[in-house]
Amino acid sequence: MRTPTLRTGWAILVFALVLLPLPLLIKSEFWLTWVTLALFYAYLGQAWNLLGGYGGQFSFGHALFFGTGAYCTAVLQIHFGINAWAGFVLAAVAAGIVGAATGWLVFRYGLRGSYFALVTLAFAEVFRILANTFAFTGAGVGLLVPLQPGAWQMQFESKAGFFWLLLILVVACLLFTWWLQNARFGARLMAVRENEDAARALGVDPFNTKLLAIIASGAIAGSAGAVYVQLFLYIDPGIAYGPSMSVEALLVPIIGGLGTVFGPVLGAFALHTIAEIGRLVFGEAPGLNLVLYGVLLVLMVLFLPNGLFGLGRFGFGLRRRLQRKGGANA
Partner 1 sequence: MLEVAKLSKRFGGLVATNNVSFTVQPGSISALIGPNGAGKTTIFAQISGFHRPDEGDIRFEGISLVGLTPERICVLGIARTFQIVQPFAGLTVRENIAVGAHLHRAGRKAALDHAEAVAQRVGLGPQLDKPAAALTVAGRKRLELAKALATDPKLLLLDEVMAGLNPAEIDEIIPIIRGIRQSGVTILLIEHVMRAVMNLSEHAWVLNNGGLIASGTPSQIAADPQVIEAYLGHGAAERMKAAKTEAQHA
Partner 2 sequence: MLEFSILLPAILNGLTIGAIYALIALGLTLIYGVLHIINFAHGSLLMLALYGVFFLHSLFGIDPYLALPVAAAALFGIGYGLQRFIIGRASHGKDENILLVTLGLSVIIENLALYLWRSDTRTIETPYSFEVLDFGVAFIPVPKAVAFVGALLVAALLWLLMTRTDLGRAIRALAKERQGAKLVGINAEHIFAMSFGIGCACLGIAACLLLPSFYVSPQVGHAFVLVAFTVVVLGGMGSFVGALLGGLIIGVTESLGGLFLGESLGQLGIFLIFIIVLLFRPTGLLGQKA
Residues that bind partner 1 (CB under 8 A): 1, 182-184, 187-188, 190-191, 193-195, 197-206, 259
Stretch that binds partner 2, among 64-72, 128-136, 153-161, 199-207 (CB under 8 A): 128-136
**Per-residue mark of binding to partner 2, 153-172 (x: CB under 8 A):** --------------------
- Should residue 309 be labelled a site residue for partner 2 when binding is judged by CB under 8 A? no
Q: How far apart are CA 115 and CA 121, in angstroms?
A: 10
**Per-residue mark of binding to partner 2, 278-297 (x: CB under 8 A):** -------xxxx-xx-xxxxx
CB of 191 to partner 1, least distance (A): 4
Residue 233, classified by CB atoms within 10 Å of its CB into exposed (0-12), middle (13-18) or buried (19+), is middle
CA 98 to the chain's CA centroid: 16
- Should residue 115 be labelled a site residue for partner 2 when binding is judged by CB under 8 A? yes
Q: Would you say 140 or 317 has its CB closer to partner 1?
A: 317
Give backbone dihedrals phi and psi of 234, rounded to 5 degrees, phi first.
Answer: -155, 145
CA-wise closest residue to 308 among 272, 262, 273: 262
Stretch that binds partner 2, among 18-26, 121-129, 180-188, 210-218 (CB under 8 A): 121-129
Q: Would you say 125 or 196 has its CB closer to partner 1?
A: 196
CB of 293 to partner 2, least distance (A): 6
Helices (H), the chain: 2-19, 22-25, 29-48, 63-80, 84-107, 114-133, 159-181, 184-194, 196-201, 206-232, 237-241, 243-256, 263-282, 288-303, 307-329
Q: How far apart are CA 48 and CA 289, in angstroms?
A: 21
Q: Would you say 115 or 232 has its CB closer to partner 2?
A: 115
How big is the CA angle at 203 (ends 202 and 206), to the nearest 5 degrees?
105
- Should residue 129 be labelled a site residue for partner 2 when binding is judged by CB under 8 A? yes
